[in-house]
Amino acid sequence: MKTFAQKAIERASGVDGVVPGQIVDVYPDLYMSHTASWRCIRTLEKMGVTELYAPDRIAMVMDHIAPAMTAKNAADHKLCREFAQRMGIRHFWDVNAGIAHIVLMENGLIRPGQFVIGTDSHSTIYGALGAFGTGVGFSEITAAWVTGKLWAKVPESVRIEISGTLPPGTYAKDVMLRLIGDLGADGLTYCSAEFAGSYTEAIGVSERMTFCNLAMEMGAKNAYVQPDPVTLRYLDDVGVSRSSYEVLVPDEGAVYRDVIAVDGSALAPQVSVPHAVDNVVPVDDVAGTRLDQVFIGSCANAKYDDLQIAARVLAGHRVAPGVRLIVTPASAQVMSRASASGVLGTLIEAGAMITNPGCGACAGNGGVMADGERTLSTANRNFRGRMGSYESEIFLGSPATAAASAIRGVITNPAELMTGVPA
């Protein structure tokens, strides 16, 4: 009886019968590196190695600082671009593409059953398509470029069963913020977080990405949603043939460290307050808090559905005077779709400024704050100084909460503005 994590690590290591706590060498299917790629290249140069284990398993996306803000950034991008060209790395996306995680999923590089490492802690997001995704440092990516492998400890698994229908104005983000608040920033440290239950089955890949992305904020090593018709349809749509992957599912009777039940119908919109992601309160507890900026962006919540929800709330309204609403689509594809459907137009009419796709303000690039300023953000981190001044504050919430708060200029429960707004 095996968990998903055990099966994924068996597949990637070739070792049968692995148990939690065991350390084995795994051979990942894909090594993602974002803007940090230049550090890998410099390290490789230092090693004097010119042969790569498998160039086709390397994926690079220039997302964290895009486009370049300094000559140093530009030189880093140039280094990566030229390296990719020289080494025959086909999976290279430049500064126009968007956030690595979203770009890789939209382009069919992430498939069920795969073991994927990335130079980004939110690599847990790949679990939304039934892959084992986990974050590592740039030295480990460099090592994988050379040797194709890295050591991995087999994690224990925790199953989170989310059931019911969420009340109006409450979304996948709110489910996760409540969980993070309840379990704490280390509640799932080194665990594989498996999301299940009737709500999880009912939602799309976009919301599952929000789940798996935010599992990291409880310390999870990876996250997972069992592939189902929703997953397969997504993969079909992005051109991944069904013969090119093997779906791995946990066995009946697999052993879990914990099974956690969440009743979705009992939830309400939630907000993380400064300066820790697990400082979570119902939005009503901080409603009325004055804001200087609202940011709709990041790998957690800037996908097409997220922008669409924000546009529905903002339609026919204006951003409050004195508030800056920054919308950074997760990817060029998201931006293009939002443009075609009118979502971008609605946001612009309401007074939002739309930036190019990428990590943007979440990584502190564009949209930074002055001393004493406050942002409500749809991102996944509110650590001190992450978006500018060490004396500024970040609150985290859903795209609906962000949109409602932008209209009023103060933190607002979106349900108050959603009468007649389609879910």
Partner 1 sequence: MTVSAKTGGKVVVFGDSVNTDVIIPGRYLVSIDPAELAEHAFEPLGEEVQRKVRAARVVVAGRNFGCGSAREQAATALTGAGIRAVVAASFARVFFRNAINTGLIAVECPAAVPALRDGDEAWVDIDTGTVTTPAGEHRFPPYPEALREILADGGLIPHLMRSYR
Comparison of 185 and 202: residue with beta carbon closer to partner 1: 185
Comparison of 185 and 247: residue with beta carbon closer to partner 1: 185
* Nearest partner of 307 among 333, 325, 339, 329, judged by Cα: 329
Distances (CA, A) of 153 to 11, 211, 251: 14, 23, 20
Q: Which of 14, 137, 342, 372 binds partner 1 (CB under 8 A)?
A: 137
* Least distance between partner 1 and beta carbon 221 (Å): 6
Binding range to partner 1, per CB under 8 A, among 99-107, 146-154, 201-209, 232-240: 146-154
Mode of pairing for the β-strands spanning 280-282 and 270-272: antiparallel
For the chain, what is the total number of helices (H) and then of strands (E)? 14, 18
CA 34 to chain centre: 13
Residue 70 lies near partner 1 (rule: CB under 8 A)? yes
Q: Burial level of 163, CB count in 10 A (0-12/13-18/19+)?
A: middle
Residues 247-286, mask of contacts with partner 1 (x by CB under 8 A): -----------------------------x-x--------
Distances (CA, A) of 2 to 132, 204, 301: 15, 26, 32
* Least distance between partner 1 and beta carbon 18 (Å): 14
Residue 140 lies near partner 1 (rule: CB under 8 A)? yes
In whole angstroms, give the CA distance from residue 239 to residue 323.
Answer: 41
> How is residue 73 written in tokens?
């950034």
Q: Which of 29, 63, 106, 120 binds partner 1 (CB under 8 A)?
A: 120
In whole angstroms, give the CA distance from residue 246 to residue 131.
Answer: 10
Q: Which of 186, 228, 236, 251 binds partner 1 (CB under 8 A)?
A: 186
Binding range to partner 1, per CB under 8 A, among 10-18, 92-100, 114-122, 319-327: 114-122
* Dihedral sign for Cα atoms in the order 247, 252, 255, 261: positive
> How is residue 10 written in tokens?
């068996």
Residue 384 lies near partner 1 (rule: CB under 8 A)? yes
Binding range to partner 1, per CB under 8 A, among 65-73, 82-90, 338-346, 348-356: 65-73
In whole angstroms, give the CA distance from residue 11 to residue 8.
Answer: 5
Binding range to partner 1, per CB under 8 A, among 89-97, 186-194, 237-245, 369-377: 186-194
CB atoms within 10 A of CB 2: 20
Binding range to partner 1, per CB under 8 A, among 118-126, 172-180, 254-262, 405-413: 118-126
Residues that bind partner 1 (CB under 8 A): 23, 36, 39, 42-43, 46-47, 49, 70, 72-73, 76, 118-121, 123, 135-140, 142-143, 146-147, 151, 185-186, 189-190, 219, 221, 276, 278, 363-364, 381, 383-386, 390
